[in-house]
């Protein structure tokens, strides 16, 4: 730890340096370790965001851009999709991918911190974050920032690893997570710690009910939580309440 550095600052620095170090193999490792399921889940998250044609969407902790590119398919060329990540190497690769994709003219990638998003209040129709929320140093602060930049009535979609419900699946998943994932990750990424961090961070992550309570505490109204692959991952969909809905314009008579 750097002298005077707080635990929160230490985590922030460690995660940034870790993702910078593995960025060159990040897409390959995601595909191998999830057997390609991560792309299916990200497609589901983009659809669940309900970003309108011509709308504006933000993907936080965008990594190399998968989810942002899926959002762009819904927003269309007349829309705007912004991907934000605080790891410079991730953003570099995402921009390189965008430059080779003729359908990504609506996508822009910026380096930025999930806890201090560089956008005005109510800027986006939809906000997503795929497998990134557990990596931020201050989860409450990041959720409050996403709430701030989302327009009233807009949707937040959080895709994150979770805890499988069936006991046998949970046992096999933990066995896979704590043995094969670190070994394959170290072999392919060259980073000794990155894929030990992954299962440890998942195990300490709150269950879906607890995360829904966190969403409510940050102002969101949870709509649903879809468990994927018996709970290996969870997709939370929440909305920023709109105080100007028609029914709210009429005060009770009396």
pLDDT of residue 245: 65
Q: What is the pLDDT of residue 250?
A: 46
What are the distances in angstroms from CA 125 to CA 50, 99, 109, 146, 179? 8, 25, 17, 11, 41
Counting DSSP H helices and E strands in the chain, the numbers are 10, 7
Tell me the domain boundaries of the chain: 7-165+207-241
Residue with tokens 């066995």: 175
**pTM (2 decimals)?**
0.89
Cβ contacts of 123 within 8 Å, gap of 6 or more: 56, 58, 149, 151
The pLDDT value recorded for residue 192 is 64
Under CATH, which number does the domain 7-165+207-241 receive?
Answer: 3.40.50.150
Q: What is the pLDDT of residue 194?
A: 65
> What is the pLDDT tens value at each position of the chain, 254 positions in all?
454 566 788 888 888 888 888 888 888 888 887 888 999 999 999 999 999 999 999 999 999 999 999 999 999 999 999 999 999 999 999 999 999 987 788 899 999 999 999 999 999 999 999 999 999 999 999 999 999 999 999 999 999 999 888 888 878 877 777 787 777 767 766 766 767 777 788 788 999 999 999 999 999 999 999 999 999 999 999 999 988 764 444 444 43
| Pair 240, 219: CB distance under 8 Å | yes
What was the pLDDT predicted at 1?
A: 44
């Amino acid at each position: 730890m750097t002298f005077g550095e707080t635990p929160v600052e230490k985590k922030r620095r460690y995660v940034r340096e870790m993702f910078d170090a593995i960025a060159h193999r990040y897409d390959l490792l995601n595909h191998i370790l999830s057997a390609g399921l991560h792309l299916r889940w990200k497609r589901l998250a983009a659809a669940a965001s309900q970003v309108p044609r011509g709308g504006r969407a933000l993907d936080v902790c965008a990594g190399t851009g998968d989810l942002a590119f899926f959002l762009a398919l819904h927003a269309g060329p007349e829309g705007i999709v912004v991907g934000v990540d605080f790891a410079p190497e991730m953003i570099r690769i995402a921009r390189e991918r965008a430059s080779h994709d003729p359908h990504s003219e609506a996508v822009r990638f910026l380096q930025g911190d999930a806890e201090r998003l560089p956008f005005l209040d109510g800027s986006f129709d939809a906000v997503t974050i795929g497998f990134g929320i557990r990596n931020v140093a201050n989860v409450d602060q990041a959720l409050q920032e996403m709430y701030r930049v989302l327009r009233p009535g807009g949707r937040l979609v959080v895709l994150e690893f979770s805890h499988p419900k069936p006991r046998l699946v949970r046992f096999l998943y933990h066995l896979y997570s704590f043995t094969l994932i670190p070994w394959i990750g170290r072999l392919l990424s060259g980073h000794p710690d990155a894929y030990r961090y992954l299962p440890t961070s998942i195990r300490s992550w709150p269950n879906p009910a607890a995360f829904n309570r966190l969403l409510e505490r940050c102002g969101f109204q949870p709509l649903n939580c879809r468990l994927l692959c018996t709970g290996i991952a969870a997709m939370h969909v929440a909305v920023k309440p709109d105080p100007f809905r028609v029914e709210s314009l009429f005060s009770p008579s009396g």
